Amino acid sequence: GGKDAINTTIINFNNEKMQITWATRDLFPNENVSFFYTFDEGKHKVWKSCTTYLLDQDYNSGCLFKTEGPTLAISIRNSNGSEELFSKKLKADFYIKPSPPENVTFFWKEDTVTISCNKPERAARCLRLELQYKSKFDKEWQSRTSRCCSVGEQGFDPRKCYSFRVRLRRVVPYCNVVQYNSDWEAETFWMNGTLLDSCDDDVTPQSKTVIVLSCSLAVLLIMLILLILLCKCQRVQISVLPAIPDPKYPFADLFNDHNGNLQEWLDKNDHVVLQTKLEYEEPESITEAESQQEDGKNSDKQGPLEKILSFSGAAENNDCKAAETACLIPASNTTASFAGFHILMNDDMYVMI
């Protein structure tokens, strides 16, 4: 029983090549064994030595050779082949690993898809066609199995992209003693009956338009918010730090032509001051001025019109010196009229002349 107790792995690749492997480091430590095989039956067997060894750290751990019949006998011997260490007889057809399905086609009809492939020349009854599929929203594969070589499934959403893959399975235990499946055929991607390069390409033009519009609206909204914040900041700045008016610009000729000499500027611009005052005075002031002028005509002719410089809160009969004092030290919250301009004065304001 010792010779049959060794575990080996046997694979018959599509009934074309055989691969026999064993755990050489556990079974035959520090010994490089030799392998022999034969497909002959009966007493007169012709043993063939392995020509293609599989190695494990420079030790023979398997053999690869051509499949030549349904019945196989193997023998593992010592390095020179004089002593047999293990032997076994088996059915090669019970260890077949099928090849991937060939010429796979997809047929779509509404929400139903049918997948088919070429039927193998031998032992098609021992094979099953397995289909696996999933959408980009699924984490696990969905599986369906049918007789070789066609399988169908329904219930596919035309709005989703699906990944498909198929393989052949060997029936156990009627045809195989080991469950061997073929490798998966190349994965394909489908959406509503249309073959795609990948499920990343299933973005429709409509969805692209929605994305562009959404981004545009987001940008406009951000710009509107920034504009509102900017306006609020300016209003707060004006409220907290109000701008101090500069008298330089309304009276540019006073500073540029007369170097700030108020008396000289008033002498030169006496008619301008009078005209401006008459244009901007209230109707009551205009009426009062006309009355005064009529009284002046009846009396003796007076000298030239004195310079007009009136300030709110100061008496009309005050002399020029009192007016100058009021100009330099204005009362709190008073309105000063100067050359036709009305200026609101408070404790925090100053006028430089």
What are the pLDDT digits (tens) for 63-103?
999 999 999 999 999 888 888 888 889 999 999 999 999 99
Residue 281 located in a structural domain? no
Alpha carbons 127 and 248: distance in angstroms, whole number: 103
What is the structure's pLDDT at 19? 95
Q: Assess whether 212 and 141 both reside in one domain.
A: no
**What is residue 245's DSSP assignment?**
P
What is the structure's pLDDT at 319? 47
Q: Assess whether 129 and 74 both reside in one domain.
A: no
Please give the structure tokens belonging to residue 184: 């998966």
**Domain end point (choices 68, 97, 126):** 97
- Give the DSSP H/E element, type plus range, for residue 219: helix 205-240
297: helix, strand or coil: helix
Residue 289 located in a structural domain? no
- Sign of the CA dihedral 254, 256, 258, 260? positive
Q: Assess whether 183 and 147 both reside in one domain.
A: yes
What is the structure's pLDDT at 121? 82
213: helix, strand or coil: helix
Alpha carbons 226 and 80: distance in angstroms, whole number: 89
Domain span including residue 124: 105-196
Q: Assess whether 111 and 151 both reside in one domain.
A: yes
- CA proximity to 343, closest of 312, 316, 318: 312
Residue 14 located in a structural domain? yes
The per-residue pLDDT string of the chain (353 residues; one tens digit each, 9 = 90 and over) reads 345 567 889 999 999 999 999 988 788 887 889 999 999 887 788 999 999 999 888 889 999 999 999 999 999 998 888 888 888 899 999 999 999 999 999 998 888 899 999 988 888 889 999 999 998 888 899 899 999 889 988 888 888 899 999 999 999 888 999 899 999 999 999 988 888 888 885 545 455 677 888 888 899 999 888 888 888 777 766 766 666 666 555 666 666 676 767 777 777 766 555 555 555 444 444 445 455 555 554 444 444 434 333 433 444 444 444 444 444 444 555 565 655 656 655 555 555 44
What is the structure's pLDDT at 133? 92
Residue 116 located in a structural domain? yes
CA angle 46, 49, 50 (to 5 degrees): 135
What is the structure's pLDDT at 211? 82
Question: What per-residue string of b and e applies to 125-162 under the rule 16 or more CB within 10 Å gives b?
Answer: ebbbbbbbbbbeeeeeeeeeebebbebebeebeeebbb
Whether pTM > 0.85 for this model: the answer is: no
Residue 126 located in a structural domain? yes
**Domain end point (choices 65, 97, 129):** 97
What is the structure's pLDDT at 290? 52
158: helix, strand or coil: coil
- CA proximity to 349, closest of 321, 320, 328: 328
What is the structure's pLDDT at 309? 38
**Domain end point (choices 196, 230, 254):** 196
Alpha carbons 285 and 276: distance in angstroms, whole number: 13
41: helix, strand or coil: coil
Alpha carbons 133 and 334: distance in angstroms, whole number: 89
Please give the structure tokens belonging to residue 213: 């519009």
What is the structure's pLDDT at 71? 92
Please tell me the total count of domains within the chain: 3
Query: What CATH number is given to the structural domain containing 149?
Result: 2.60.40.10
What is the structure's pLDDT at 57? 85
Q: Provide the strand spans (E) within 16-118.
A: 17-22, 34-38, 48-49, 53-56, 59-66, 71-77, 84-91, 96-97, 105-109, 112-116
Neighbour-count burial of 72, counting CB atoms closer than 10 A to its CB (0-12 exposed, 13-18 middle, 19+ buried): buried
